[in-house]
Structure formats: C-alpha cells, structure tokens
Chains A and B, each alone.
Chain A
Amino acid sequence: MTTSKAVAWEPVTAQALIDDLKSKPGALLPILHAIQDRFSFIPEEAVALIAQSLTLSRAEVHGVISFYHHFRTQQPGRHMVEICRAEACQAQGSRALEAHAKAALGVDYHQTTADRNITLEPVYCLGNCSCGPSIRVGDEIHADVDATRFDELVEGLKTDRVEILL
C-alpha cells in the first residue's frame, strides 16, 4: 500500500499529463501535483515542459515549486514518512517521537536514509489531533505512535514481503 507507485521519468507521459490539465484555469498546481504523483518528484526536465506549455518562464515555475513544502525537486526514498510536529501532537509526546525517529533512521528532516528506503519529512497537523502522535506513511495515517510503534512501522517498510491482506 505504502510502496511508492511512482515510475521513472518519461517525457511523453509528462507531456500527456500536462496537456490534460493545461486548459484548466489556474492549471499550474494541478499539473505539478500530477507530475509529482507520477514521478515522485518534479525533475528539471518537467519544469521545462511545464514552462513551455503554460508560456511561463522556468524561473516562474521554480518560484511556485519552491513556495510549497509539498513539492520536491529531488528523488525521494521509496517511502515517505512524515511526522506531525504541530501542537496537539506535541502535547501527546511527539517531540520524543521526532528525536527517536531521527536517531533510529540516522537522518534529519528532508533527508533520505542511506539505503534510499525512507525519506523523513515534518508535517504540521494531519487532522488526527485527538489520537496523536500522528505520522503519515505514504497515504496512510497512523495514530498513537510511540517509539515502539514507529519501529514496527519502519520494519514493515524495510522488507518487500508480500503483505497478507487482512
């Protein structure tokens, strides 16, 4: 479920995604989302294609990408792990969880583990504020995450074992 479904860079696919959306009013964000969803990040080649298709300068497209925390221009690890840093989770022990996660993975925020398996990112609230600390792995959100639970979740991401569908 949480394994990245992203595929390798493919200019024809990218152009098709852009062409699909470019006539929408305010098309840039939907296009950036579509590209990142497909390729897991927004490569420089995509910036050029987007700029050309929307008759914007590359600098303008870069300006938009860099404004938003969600968009990335570097290939992330196979799994994205986001830890909620916001107040309601702080009140439930997220500061200790953050410290544990960084130590256990040997990375800081915005970094990827040496085996390129996990990229660690901060997030400010996942809307699970009554049952924190909260983390997001791919599109799945997990509640009540302490150090032990975090280690279990990470362990589950290490192996490509076939998940028994329960």
Chain B
Amino acid sequence: MTFRIHVPSDTTAKARGADRIARLIEIVAEEHKIDVEVRRNGTRGLYWLETLVEVETDEGRYGFGPVKEGDIESLFAAEFYNGNIEHSLAVGLVEEIPYLKRQERFTFSRLGINDPLSLEDYQAKDGFKGLANAIKLSSQDIVDAVKESGLRGRGGAAFPTGIKWQTVLDVPSPKNQKYIVCNADEGDSGTFADRLVMECDPFMLIEGMIIAGLAVGATQGYIYCRSEYPLAIENLNSAIQTAYDHNLLGADIQGSGKHFDLEVRMGAGAYICGEETSLLESLEGKRGLVRAKPPLPAIVGLFGQPTVVNNVLSLAAVPFILDKGAKAYADVGVGRSRGTLPFQVAGNVKFGGLVELAFGPTLKELMFEFGGGTRSGRPLRAVQVGGPLGAYLPESQWDTPLGYEEFSQKQAVLGHGGIVMFDDTVDMSEQARFSMEFCVAESCGKCTPCRIGSTRGVEVIDRIRAGKNVDANMELLSDLCETMLDGSLCAMGGMTPFPVQSAMQHFTEDFVKNAASATQAKEV
C-alpha cells in the first residue's frame, strides 16, 4: 500500500529545513522499499513543531515534529509511516493538539490541511461556496452581509469593511472602472498571517477579492505584495493562473455574466507603502508619498477611480461570511470586535505561531496558555502588540482583553494582531531608539514632524542613553513625541510616539539608569 505523508511548504517550514526533509523521506523510503507518497501541505502554523511531518491514517493525521534531517532514519526504524507513535517526536493526532484544538479557525480552516495550489483540495473544503452564493445575490445584498458580519479592517485601522464597500458601491465611477486593491504589504514585525493566506491558501484570497468585485461593481483587482515574500508571490501567481484556467477569473465567471481580472504587483521594500494612499501611488508607478485625505480612496482611489483597499485578512474573511452566513461570523467576539482575529505570537516565545481566536481572551492567555512564555525561559518583561507603531505593554496591562476598543483605552493598538514578546534582557531605551530609527528609515518625507522629528528623536535618546542631562532630555523627548502626534499627516509619524512613550512611561528605569553613572563619572 501507499503511505501518504505531508511535509509543510510555507516560508517558515522551509526556513527550518522542510524541503530537505521532504526529499530525504523520499530517498530513505526508496532505500527501504517502502511505497511513500510525499505531499506538500502549507503549515498548521504551530511553528515550534516545524518541520511537522504528518502521516495520513484512517483515524486522522499523526504528527511528528520538530523533525530534523538526523531523525529520518529513526523515524523509518519506528515505522512512523504506519502512524506508529513509538517515537520521541510523535505528537499524536495533529488535530487533537490543544494549541490547535482550542483555536477557532474560521479563516484558516484549511491551513496545513490542503495542498496550497490544488484547486481540488480547496473546493473539497468549502472553497468557492461563498462565491457561488454571492453570484446569486445582488451587490447590495453582498454588502449587507459583510456589514452584518461586523467585519472590521484587519490591516490596522479597524474600519468597518461593509461601510467601506457601501461607499464604493454607491459612488459612480467617472471612467466606469472601479478597483479592488488588496493590501499585502504586511510590513509589521511580528506578523505573518497575510503571508500564510497567500502561501498556504491563495484561492481563499482570490475568492474574497472576486466577491468584493461583485459587491461594488469592480472588474479589476490588484494584490500589492511586498517583495520580501517571494514564495507568496509565486503561489499567488500560480493559483491565479489556475483560477483563470477554470473560469473562476476573467470574463463571464462560471456563466454568471460577471467579469473580474486579478494581477499581483510587487512592492519594493518600503514600509510606508502599506499605508493605503502610499500604496496606491506605488501601484500607479510613483514614489510612495502619502496622499492627504479626504478624498478617501473609496471615492478617489487608484488612477482616480473608486477603490476598495482592504487588507489580506479582511478579504480572506469574506468567503466564510458568504458561505456560513454573516451571523456565524458575528456570533463570536467581544463588544464591537466581531468574529475572529488570527493572532501571530512571535519574538521570544516558546510556542510561536498562528493562533486564530474569537476576540475576547486576554493578552496573558495568548502569551502563556498558547505561547508558553519565553523561549529563553527568562521572565517576560515587555510585549509589543500591533507592529512597530504599537505600544509596549508592561505586565500590569497583560490582562487587557483582545479587542479593538479594549486596547485603544490603554493607548495601545491591536493592529494586525502581531504579538512580539521580549524577556528581561531587553533594554527598553534601545527599543525606543529603534522606533525612532525605523521612522527615519521609512518616513515618506512629506511632513517635517515625521521626517525631522524622528531624526531628532534618535539623537535625544542617544543622549539619554549616554546619561547626559537625562531629565531635560526626557522632557525634550516627550515634547518631540507630542509634536509628532499632532503634526503628522499619517500614522507613521503619528503613531511612532506610541512605542516610545509607552517605553518611557512603563520602563523609565531603562532610560534613567545611566544618569547616575554619568553624574558619578563627572564627580570622579
């Protein structure tokens, strides 16, 4: 008989050696004359277990991980291909692993199960059912469903997706051309959920974008993907080709009379191009200078036409909503944060990975019950949530429930759901310095507080770190942060103060620690 074995193929699994593991399994199987078929799934997103090799059995898939090259012989000796769990790397039935079992995988229901590029696999697991329903609905009905679901933009600003779509649906296009633009710039450190959609379930994003097109009357879509994601781009292009070949893209989709074209465009290493208007400038072939709003992109967007700009995760949530119903999505969550958010647990964490949960649990639960604390084993000290523009949270705030309003009450942001954990070796003045330095590197240069303010910020923090006039310089840094907050056109300059101020406020000791020694040095 043929034993079917799955070896993950996303960027992190590959970065941990999955390609060589897959090849080795084939080679050793041949040597042992065992009939093995190696399939490449995406990843389950349980990254500490990568490379997680899965064996298909009648009871389900048995997992072994983390598998290294040196483990292959012993796995074969233990006849792992039978699902035999007499091996130290055996983790049992994968779907029973508590980390996975306790999640609510609405968006990522297929993650790590299917072959990312197989349309057949996608369709076997509810793929394109949402589109089939949407084709039967009017544009307004689709928009209403998305409104009812309570879905809010997952790219950071949490703006209600349905309301954005309504605007684009209602506004006439001067050139009779509207656009769907997918923001796949995923620049935030600590985030990889967009990448997982594109690498491991690309048809879901395609389906979400077609539905968005039907909802607002757009016939052209662009996915603006960062250049740091070569595999995502490759998989998207391949899936788009397959979709065209099967009349899921192009003219008269599935005989519906509807038309939708889709193309991937590559970014070029500019964080600011994740800001939606900068992204549109970039798509138009220009420097990514942020545009003043209004007009909103929904009204005057790409090439001056009405445009939906949505994050990958926002669009990827849409097939579920159109398939399972808006209510099924809205039924879970907390307060005005409805549905699920795929959290990404990263940094110094023992069990890092993708944790899709309904909004509501606390940050602490996520970091300890899922994350298992730090990888270094040292005490956890600071957590940055929501990317490089998000605040650092000290222990006193770890009880905050994971919800948009709950976080903004603490001057923090949930953003794209990235959780970056730091142990007690972190120097928070160094982190604050980095935030300013990052703003220097990535500012589009349009406004002075952002462009010059961040450069001053680095200098002032350097003086503080050197112990020079610490009190006066701390005050100067506070003023500088206020100026940036008030005088910046977009959140790059306007939010860079968040991590800096939170570091100053909650971790003051890291800023003042050199003050004493500098004074002493002077006295000597």
Which A residues are closer than 8 A to B by beta carbons?
Answer: 25-30, 32-33, 63-64, 67-71, 86-92, 123-132, 134, 136, 139-144, 165-166
Q: Judge if B303 is at the interface, Cβ distance under 8 Å.
A: yes
| Distance (whole angstroms) from the CB of A62 to the closest CB of chain B | 10
CA distance A166 to B284 in the complex (A): 43
B207 within 8 A of A: no
The interface bits of chain B over 368-387 (1 if a CB of A lies within 8 angstroms of the residue's CB, else 0) are 00000001000000001000
CB distance from A83 to the nearest CB of B (A): 12
The answer to whether A70 and B189 touch (CB under 8 A), given A91-B426, A130-B352, is no
Which chain B residue has the least Cβ–Cβ distance from A54? B285
Partner of B268, one of A70, A128, A132, A165: A70
User: Within 8 Å of chain A (Cβ to Cβ): is B11?
Assistant: yes
Q: Are A141 and B11 in contact (CB under 8 A)?
A: yes
Across the interface, B228 reaches (CB within 8 A) one of A29, A63, A127, namely A127
Give residues 335-350 of B contacting A (CB, 8 Å).
344-349
Across the interface, which residues of B come within 8 angstroms of A68, CB to CB?
Answer: 267-270, 288
Contact B189 A67 (CB under 8 A): no
Q: Which residues of B contact A87 (CB under 8 A)?
A: 189-190, 347, 384, 388, 420, 431, 434
CA distance A29 to B268 in the complex (A): 8
A130 and B286 contacting across the interface, CB-CB below 8 Å: no
Q: Is B15 in contact with A124, judged by CB distance below 8 angstroms?
A: no
| A129, B189: Cβ atoms closer than 8 Å | yes
Chain B residues with CB under 8 Å of A144's CB are: 16
Instruction: Please give me the 10 A-B residue pairs with the lowest Cβ-Cβ distance, nearest first.
Output: A130-B352, A28-B285, A86-B189, A70-B269, A91-B347, A68-B268, A129-B346, A143-B15, A69-B269, A70-B268
Are A125 and B228 interface neighbours, CB within 8 A? yes
Closest Cβ of chain B to A36, distance in Å, is 9
Q: Are A166 and B23 in contact (CB under 8 A)?
A: yes
Query: Which chain B residue shows the least CB distance to A68?
Result: B268
Smallest Cβ distance from A121 to chain B, in angstroms? Answer: 9
User: CB-nearest residue of chain B relative to A129?
Assistant: B346
**B284 in contact with A33 (CB, 8 Å):** no
Chain B hits for A64, CB < 8 A: 285-287
Given contacts A67-B288, A136-B228, A143-B15, contact A131 B47 (CB under 8 A): yes
Is the pair A128, B192 in contact by a Cβ cutoff of 8 Å? yes
Number of B interface residues in the complex (CB < 8 A): 61
How far, in Å, is B437 (CB) from chain A's closest CB? 9
Q: Are A129 and B268 in contact (CB under 8 A)?
A: no
Taking a contact as CB atoms under 8 Å apart, the answer to whether B431 and A166 are in contact is: no
- The answer to whether the Cβ of B282 comes within 8 Å of any Cβ in the partner chain is yes
Per-residue interface assignment for chain B, residues 258 to 271, with 1 indicating a CB less than 8 Å from any chain A CB and 0 otherwise: 00000001111111
Contact with A along B432-463 (1 / 0, CB 8 A): 00100010011000000000000000000000
Complex CA gap A68/B286 in Å reads 10
> 1/0 per position for B272-298, CB-CB distance to A under 8 A?
000000000011111110000000000
For this complex, 24 residue pairs linking A to B, each with C-beta atoms less than 8 Å apart, are A26-B265, A29-B265, A29-B268, A30-B266, A68-B269, A68-B288, A71-B268, A86-B189, A88-B189, A90-B434, A92-B348, A92-B375, A124-B438, A125-B190, A127-B186, A127-B195, A127-B229, A128-B15, A129-B191, A129-B352, A130-B346, A136-B228, A141-B15, A143-B15
- One digit per residue, 1 when the CB lies within 8 angstroms of any chain A CB and 0 when it does not, for chain B 228-265 equals 11100000000000000000000000000000000001
**Chain B residues in 8 Å Cβ range of A29:** 265-266, 268, 282-283, 285
Q: Interface centre among A71, A139, A140, A165, by most B CB within 10 Å?
A: A140
- Contacts A69-B270, A129-B420, A136-B228 aside, 18 further interface pairs with beta carbons under 8 A come to A25-B284, A26-B284, A26-B303, A68-B269, A70-B267, A86-B388, A88-B346, A91-B422, A124-B441, A125-B190, A125-B228, A127-B229, A128-B11, A129-B189, A130-B344, A141-B11, A166-B23, A166-B24
Q: Measured between alpha carbons, how far is A129 from B16 in the docked complex, in Å?
A: 13
B347 to chain A, nearest CB (A): 4
Question: In the complex the two chains form, is B285's CB within 8 Å of A26's CB?
Answer: yes
Within the assembled complex, what's the spacing in Å between the Cα atoms of A131 and B47? 7
Would you call A125 and B189 a contact (CB within 8 A)?
Answer: yes
CA distance A86 to B438 in the complex (A): 9
Q: Verify if B50 is at the interface (C-beta below 8 Å from A).
A: yes
Whether the pair B187, A124 counts as a contact (CB closer than 8 A) is yes
Asked if B105 lies at the interface with its beta carbon under 8 angstroms from chain A, I say: no
Check A134–B268 contact: CB distance below 8 A: no
Whether a CB of chain A sits under 8 angstroms from the CB of B20 is yes
Q: Which residues of A contact B268 (CB under 8 A)?
A: 29, 32-33, 68-71
Report A-chain residues with C-beta under 8 Å of the C-beta of B418. Answer: 88, 129
Closest to B344 in A: A129
A37 nearest in chain B by CB position: B266
Docked pose: A27 CA to B270 CA in angstroms: 18
In angstroms, Cα B388 to Cα A89, docked, is: 12
Q: Is the CB of B420 within 8 A of A27?
A: no
Instruction: Check B14 for interface membership: any CB of A closer than 8 A.
Output: yes
A131 contacts across to B, CB distance below 8 A:
12, 15-16, 47, 50, 352
Contact assessment for A134 and B421 in the assembled complex, using a CB-CB cutoff below 8 Å: no
Provide the residues of chain B in CB contact with A25, threshold 8 Å: 284, 303
B227 and A70 contact, CB distance less than 8 A: yes
**Chain B residue at minimum C-beta to C-beta distance from A63:** B287
* Complexed CA–CA distance, A68 and B192 (Å): 22
Query: Which residues of A sit under 8 angstroms from B269, Cβ to Cβ?
Result: 68-70, 123
> A88 to B195, Cβ gap below 8 A?
no
Q: In the bound complex, how far is the Cα of B278 from the Cα of A68, in angstroms?
A: 12
Residues on the B chain within 8 Å of A67, using CB: 270, 287-288
Q: Which residues of A contact B423 (CB under 8 A)?
A: 91
B351–chain A nearest beta-carbon distance, Å? 9
Contact of B230 among A32, A125, A129, A139 (CB under 8 A): A139
How far, in Å, is B426 (CB) from chain A's closest CB?
A: 7
The residue on A at minimum CB distance from B227 is A70
Report the minimal beta-carbon distance from B392 to chain A, rounded to whole angstroms. 10
Q: How far is the CB of B267 from chain A (nearest CB, A)?
A: 8
A90 to chain B minimum Cβ distance, whole angstroms, is: 7
Measured CB to CB, the nearest residue on chain A to B198 is: A127
